[in-house]
Amino acid sequence: MKKIEAIIKPFKLTEVKEALNRLGVQGMTVSEVKGFGRQRGHKEVYRGAEYQIDFVPKTRIEIVLEVSLVADAVKVIRETARTGEIGDGKIFISAIEDAIRIRTGESGRDAL
Amino acid sequence: MNTGDTSFVLVSAALVMLMTPGLALFYGGMVRGKNVLGTIMQSFIIIALISLEWILWGYSMAFGPDKFGIIGGLEWFGLMGVGLAPHPVYAPTVPHQVFMIYQCMFAVITPALISGAFAERMRFGPFLLFSLLWATFVYNPLAHWIWGDGGWLGRLGALDFAGGVAVHVSSGVAALAAAVILGKRKGYGTEEMRPHNLPMTLLGAGILWFGWFGFNAGSALSAGRLAGSAFVATHVAGCTAALAWIAMEWKLHGKATTLGAASGAVAGLATVTPAAGFVGPLSAALIGLMAGVGCYLGILAKNRFRYDDSLDVVGIHGVGGVIGLVAAGFFASTLVNPGGADGLLFGNPSQLAIQCVAVLTTIVYTFVITYILLKVVDKLFGLRVSEKDEIVGLDLSQHEETGYEF
Whole-prediction pTM: 0.91
Cβ contacts of B201 on chain A, cutoff 8 Å = none
A69-88 as b/e: b if 16+ CB within 10 A: bbeebeebbeebbeeeeeeb
- For chain A, what is the domain count? 1
Q: Are B270 and B168 in contact (CB under 8 A)?
A: yes
Q: Decide if B126 is inside a domain.
A: yes
Per-residue pLDDT at A42? 85
Per-residue pLDDT at B320? 98
Per-residue pLDDT at B62? 98
Cβ contacts of B301 on chain A, cutoff 8 Å = none
Per-residue pLDDT at B190? 85
Q: What is the mean pLDDT of chain A?
A: 93
**Domain around A77:** 2-111
> What ipTM does the predicted assembly reach?
0.78
For residue B152, is pLDDT > 80?
Answer: yes
* Cβ contact B299–A51 (<8 Å): no
Collapsing DSSP to helix, strand or coil, B346 comes out as helix
**Domain around B165:** 3-399
Nearest to B153 by CA among B61, B87, B276, B70: B70
Cβ contacts of B253 on chain A, cutoff 8 Å = 45, 48, 50
- How many whole angstroms separate alpha carbon B283 and alpha carbon A4? 66
- How many whole angstroms separate alpha carbon B162 and alpha carbon B12? 12
Q: Decide if B405 is inside a domain.
A: no
- For chain B, what is the domain count? 1
B320-342, pLDDT tens digit by residue?
999 999 999 999 999 999 999 99
Nearest to B159 by CA among B334, B404, B378: B334
A19-77, pLDDT tens digit by residue?
999 999 989 999 999 999 887 888 888 988 888 888 899 999 999 999 999 999 999 99
Mean pLDDT of B188-211: 95
User: Min CA distance, B58 vs chain A (Å)?
Assistant: 35
* Cβ contact A46–B253 (<8 Å): no
Residues 6+ apart with CB under 8 A from B368: none
CATH of the domain at B99: 1.10.3430.10
Q: Decide if B404 is inside a domain.
A: no
Nearest to B32 by CA among B405, B404, B388, B406: B404
Per-residue pLDDT at A48? 83
Four-point Cα dihedral A40, A46, A48, A53, nearest 10: -10
For residue B205, is pLDDT > 90?
Answer: yes
Q: What is the mean pLDDT of chain B?
A: 97
Q: Decide if B406 is inside a domain.
A: no
CATH of the domain at A26: 3.30.70.120
